[in-house]
Amino acid sequence: MNNLTVVLTFIGVMVAIFALVYQMYQAESTRRQEAFAKETARRQEEAARRQEVGVAEWMRALRDWASEAIDVLSEAVYASDGMQELVPRDTRRYIPQLSSLIDRGRFFLPNQFTENHGTDKPPAFRGFRHAALDPLVAAADVLEGKIKDEELHDYVAHHRRDVLRWLQMEFVSHIQQILDPEGHNQKIAEVIKDSQAQAAKLLGKKDFGFHTIGLVRHVVERVKEESTRQRERQGEAPPEST
């Protein structure tokens, strides 16, 4: 009996030890899982913060670049007052500035469909230009007299100020859509949209393709419509009393 009691006692002690070890193992495993979950959550929060900071910096840089572009366009608009030359010399100084702004804009708004079009070009110039850059390219073409359509060319030459002003408004509309003041938490990947789809949404046109001439033609149509409305309003105004 004494031997049996010793054996049973020994077994009981071993079971207790194993149970204690198992509990300690389970506790350590739970602690490690909790620590891993906390570390994962911390890293996710840190990554989210870095992403938010990156988006904020990108949008701030985009805003600065766009503001500079608007300044150049505005100067070109007012420098075009009363000028009907095909290529006015006083406005040509804005062409290098616009060219620089266009290429700098590719840092923020890269080309689309780079794998299917223009694969023989340097990487930044493959594919199709982002729609938000089109008004700047069109403005440079207008200032340089590179509108090949003869009828359109003559109209632009005689209404250069109005055409440039509308191109400026088109550019502002694109940038405002991208910056989206009412939704600052959008991610960059959601902001950079397909050029064609964005042009259709902002401009209400689906037949621009990716050619600047289409944008200039569209702007000329708007200038003509605005001129017609102004003439109609002037015709409806009551005559001045004498």
CB atoms within 10 A of CB 6: 10
Quote the pTM value.
0.64
The pLDDT, as a whole number, for residue 96 is 94
- Stated as kind and residue range, the H or E segment containing 142 is helix 134-144
In the predicted model, residues of the chain with pLDDT beneath 70 are: 1-2, 42, 46-53, 82-90, 181-211, 236-242
The pLDDT, as a whole number, for residue 208 is 45
The pLDDT, as a whole number, for residue 54 is 73
Which of 204, 205, 175 is closest to 191 using CA atoms? 175
The pLDDT, as a whole number, for residue 137 is 94
The pLDDT, as a whole number, for residue 207 is 47
